[in-house]
Structure 1
Amino acid sequence: MNKNLLGIYLVTSLSMAGVFTIAPALPLIAGALAIDKANIGYIITAFTMGTVLVAPFMGLIADKFGRKKLLIPSLYIFGIAGFACGLTNSLEWLIFWRFIQGVGSSALGTLSTTMITDIFEGPKRVRYFGYNMTVNSIGMVLFPLLGGLLVASSWRYPFFLSAVAIPIAIYNQLFLNYSEKLTDLDTRQYLKNLLRSLTDRRVMLAAYLNFTSFIMMGGAFLTFYALYLTQTFSPVIDSFGLSFQREIIIGFAMSLFSAMVGVVAFRLGAIHAKFGFHRVLAFAYFTYAGAFYLFQSTDQLGWVLLACAWLGLGHGLAVPSIMALHTRLAPEGMTASYLTLNSFVFRVGQTLGPMLMALVYSYYDLKAVFILAAVIAIPAAWVALKTDWRKDA
């Protein structure tokens, strides 16, 4: 593997750490800081809010001034702020540092996919998007497991994992080096061309699909799955004498989801070559719906773990496919902005999702949260199936 790809993959593996490492710790954090369980999602929301507020500017900066000039400071901010979260003693300071960490995180996923777009073209690009998602999923497997192991000792320890961003920043500072595809337009013309291109109906529909994915994932799965598993299956876990390892089991369940994401994404190029964008995306959203419905319809732990894997299948198909759509539809020299749009939309979904699902939970129960997520997926599947995603369509 060349040094550029290794640097990109290191960034990719880190990009989800801000959410997936912390998710197994949420119930313990709520207890330690006396947070109402209906408000537990704000720990995730503070992080995603930081990404949302600065994300619109990241594509322009990356396209005009360079990927590496944005990447290195972003990694340092992410690592330092994440470490600071573990040192806090109040909800207010935790939310502050989570917000700052989100600012650092805002460009990471966008930059890794933008750099792959710079280096590869055509079907090879889709294949490497799949590989990149596989690397992402490896991070999603390892970080929940590590988070679950560490939180068994203290809720603070998972935050300290963020410090791994600092050596990753040093590596990329030393070794990342390739010809970046930047724009030569002035800022005014760049923004004018960008806004004109965003009126493409397919761009808006791709954004809708992306938003839907992360309303479901950020709201139902990442925020409430750990709480659901704890409330519903604690007697089962305790009957095996594993009550002290409950958070580890939660981390394992999330890692099972992530492992399936990686397995599917690794074969994404071949899957697209056989079935095409519209069938792959439609199947992904029907899979989301089935998995979320299964969560709330069973009282068997084994079926819930199967639903985690099934959810990973849908997510592994949907997310890199939507990224590939944005790079396919992006005008020359605007790839970073299109991928920033992709990142911005999913961060908005990831921010609003916990708030929406917390509202549902406060009025109803956890089953209602998962039913709503399943219902949201159905129209998205129909849109994916009926849209012609070809660039020249």
Structure 2
Amino acid sequence: MSRRTGKLKLTLLLVSSLTIMSIITISPALPQMAIAFSNVPNAAFLVKLVLTIPALMIAVFSPITGRLIDRHGRLKILRLSLALYAIAGTSGFFLNNLYLILLSRAVLGLAVGMSMTIVITLIADYFEGIERQKFVGIQIAFMSIGGILFTGLGGLLADVGWRYPFLIYLFSLLVLPLTILYLQEPAVAAKTNGMKTPIKVPSIIWMLFINTMLMWIIFFIIPVQIPFYLKAIGVEKNALIGAGIAISTAASAISSFFYSKIKGYFSFLFIFAMGYLLMAAGFSFIAVAHTYTLVVVAMMLSGFGMGMMIPNTNMWVMKIAPPEVRGKEIGKLATFWFLGQFLSPIVIFPVLKSLSLSSTFMLAAGFLLLLSLGFLIFHFSKAGKIAAQ
């Protein structure tokens, strides 16, 4: 690998890390924010919305970005998004109005929707075959590790004051010059300007989009509900709760890193079947666990499963999306990705009103097992063999 190619890959990985840090970086500061804005009506709810509203905006604006980059190219819009990311992200450090902070977080989501869609599209543009397969796995692993590091840094800065984690968003200004130095506009982007002929996309791509949303709705039960579950079984230290979630994220990073090797042996459909089976095992163990150690092991199983399915989805969409409309289709993928994260607590809330937390995890495990069996049957069917080619 040449030095320039290495710098190009590092730049793409650094842009990718901005996606995961956009939402979770300020998470440790939320309790202090709730106290700081306690005089605002519904402050507790609005502060939680500060965390989640970027996901909604990413879901809404990613398809628009996809269409724009197919028409006007990738890099100008990417550089605009990185500048907007820094401005909107750091606004929370300076603003004294909770509603203005919410607005700035919505703009941050717009910036992330742009950058995430573009970086996945660029990976598909720059790489092919086994090299793309390897890099997609490394990208997801890098994002997971970045999530662990940025959350830890956010926690340290939150101990200084709730505003300080917002300064982490200045990181995008360090990445911006690298995109100017080491990224080049792909030829495919220039060729698509002005094209009016409809491009046909394989219909199975919609199965991948919907499956992505389901993956995130279910997997996001862990970061949202596990803190409450661990408290219920007697774990009092927040550091242990954070460490457990970090270990789950690390497990996801490990399986993502080795995705290329896994894909060398199994089809797309079979990897989904394995991933959902690991998640089902993890969720069922959580449902019956009464010790911290067993819950962490269970979360690791879930992380392993999720870690192989995310690059599997990205890789399949890159493979079947025609280059002329690649940005638009990857924009849709980003929409369903973050829509799943946003919807997860909304979907689970009515279930928790009827069932205990352990029963909710067991119900989710049953649904995950059905998904695993569904993909296994599809894998062995004639239609599945054609679809996975």
The TM-score range, normalised by the shorter chain, is 0.7 to 0.9
- How far does residue 317 in structure 1 lie from its aligned partner after superposition? 0.4
Letter in 2 for 1:17: M
Residue-by-residue CA offset, 1:301-339 (whole Å, 9 max, x unaligned): 112222232222011101000001101111232222221
> Aligned residue for 1:221?
222
> Aligned residue for 1:240?
none
2:84 matched to 1:93?
no
The equivalent position to 2:369 in structure 1, one of 357, 362, 378, is: 378
2:291 matched to 1:300?
yes
Structure 1 Cα separation of the partners of residues 155 and 148 of structure 2: 11
The equivalent position to 2:62 in structure 1, one of 55, 60, 64, is: 55
Equivalent residue pairs, number: 377
Letter in 2 for 1:339: I
- TM-score w.r.t. structure 2 length? 0.86
| 1:39–1:358 Cα contact (<8 Å) kept | no
> Aligned residue for 1:10?
14
Structure 2 Cα separation of the partners of residues 391 and 181 of structure 1: 25
Structure 1: state its 5+ residue gaps.
238-242
| 2:16–2:139 Cα contact (<8 Å) kept | yes
- How far does residue 261 in structure 1 lie from its aligned partner after superposition? 1.7
Structure 2 Cα separation of the partners of residues 322 and 52 of structure 1: 17
Structure 2 Cα separation of the partners of residues 171 and 91 of structure 1: 33
- How far does residue 130 in structure 1 lie from its aligned partner after superposition? 0.8
Report 1:26-105 matches (<5 A).
Answer: 26-30=30-34, 32-34=36-38, 42-89=49-96, 91-105=98-112
Cα gap change, 1:25/1:84 in structure 2, threshold over 3 Å: closer, same or farther?
same
Structure 2 Cα separation of the partners of residues 66 and 149 of structure 1: 39
- How far does residue 30 in structure 1 lie from its aligned partner after superposition? 4.5
Residue-by-residue CA offset, 1:222-263 (whole Å, 9 max, x unaligned): 33334444x336x544xxxxx5xx2x4443223212221221
Report 1:282-301 matches (<5 A).
Answer: 282-301=273-292
Structure 1 Cα separation of the partners of residues 105 and 229 of structure 2: 24
| 2:267–2:388 Cα contact (<8 Å) kept | no
> Aligned residue for 1:212?
214
Structure 2 Cα separation of the partners of residues 222 and 90 of structure 1: 28
Cα gap change, 1:354/1:32 in structure 2, threshold over 3 Å: closer, same or farther?
farther
Cα gap change, 1:384/1:259 in structure 2, threshold over 3 Å: closer, same or farther?
same
> Aligned residue for 2:309?
318
The equivalent position to 1:145 in structure 2, one of 142, 146, 152, is: 152
The sequence identity of aligned pairs, in percent, is 24
Cα gap change, 1:162/1:293 in structure 2, threshold over 3 Å: closer, same or farther?
farther
2:113 matched to 1:106?
yes
- Larger CA deviation: 379-388 vs 37-46: 37-46
CA RMSD in angstroms, aligned pairs only? 2.8
| 1:50–1:103 Cα contact (<8 Å) kept | yes
Residue-by-residue CA offset, 1:126-182 (whole Å, 9 max, x unaligned): 111111112112212212222233334433333321221122113212332253422
| 2:73–2:185 Cα contact (<8 Å) kept | no
> Aligned residue for 2:331?
340
> Aligned residue for 1:353?
344
Cα gap change, 1:391/1:371 in structure 2, threshold over 3 Å: closer, same or farther?
closer
| 1:38–1:358 Cα contact (<8 Å) kept | no
| 2:52–2:342 Cα contact (<8 Å) kept | yes
